[in-house]
Structure 1
């Protein structure tokens, strides 16, 4: 995995600008895990990756990746490769295969 040294950065902080449309005083990072992981995949820097891997753990990040409804192809293939997730286990891939890109199932 590209970020396999994440434990070397236990003090990494999430750039809260990734969550620009949320009330940052009220956001719960635990209940918003899928949103946070998606934003880091789409726009995050290495410190953001280190944060989510330390904060949530690899298993929870993988579970979130599987549940994300949309990722562009580049990001989808990147996380599939980096975390060893078969594309068929990713909701975003299944939606693309079905032609249902609007998120309704």
Structure 2
């Protein structure tokens, strides 16, 4: 799932209220602020230690994961030394980001990039858009993404430029 991260919400199943069967809160703190009869620390400790829902005769409270869109990948700022990191538009600048991470990042950075953009977008960029990668990186990219050099725009581009014979 590209560009997603996991967050949690608090689901409250009401047993005694008619008409309201389920409430969703962004945090347990928000629930306890809305319903002060319930102790944040007691419920939090219960949910954290037992890893199961808190339940009594009135309610059942559980934490559930949800997926939210990542705003940016967690890549090292040093890869983008020539750019204002906080101002990078990660969606529009994807070609630059992919090229920079492939050229200068390690495999962990590659994994973060793949999680953010998705393998399909990266391979499509390699085939059709990214025009410059060092030869050593081309070999590494081909092995990692199971591609043939002739599929890469950067390889085709270097083959079409004649080099001096000296």
What TM-score results when the alignment is normalised by the length of structure 2? 0.50
Q: Report the Cα distance in structure 1 between the residues aligned to 2:121 and 2:77, rounded to whole angstroms.
A: 20
Counterpart-to-counterpart distance in 1, 2:122 and 2:77: 18
Partner of 1:22: 83
Matches within 5 A, 1:88-103: 88-99=150-161
* Deviation at residue 89 of structure 1 after TM alignment: 1.9
List alignment gaps of at least 5 residues for structure 2: 7-72
Secondary structure in structure 2 of the residue aligned to 1:52: helix
Shift of 1:26: 1.7
Identify the structure with the greater helix proportion. 1
1:10-52 Cα deviation digits (max 9, x unpaired)? 6872112111111222210111111111111111123311211
Distance 1:50 1:81 in 2: 15
Mapped contact 1:14–1:47 kept (Cα < 8 A): no
Contact 1:68/1:91 (8 A) holds in 2:
yes
The answer as to 2:94 corresponding to 1:33 is yes
Question: Which of the pair has more CA radius of gyration?
Answer: 2
> Which ranges in structure 1 are unaligned for 5 or more consecutive residues?
1-6
Q: How many residues align?
A: 93
CA distance in 1, matches of 2:146, 2:130: 16
Give the structure with the larger strand fraction: 2
Name segments (4+ residues, structure 1) moved above 4 Å.
Answer: none
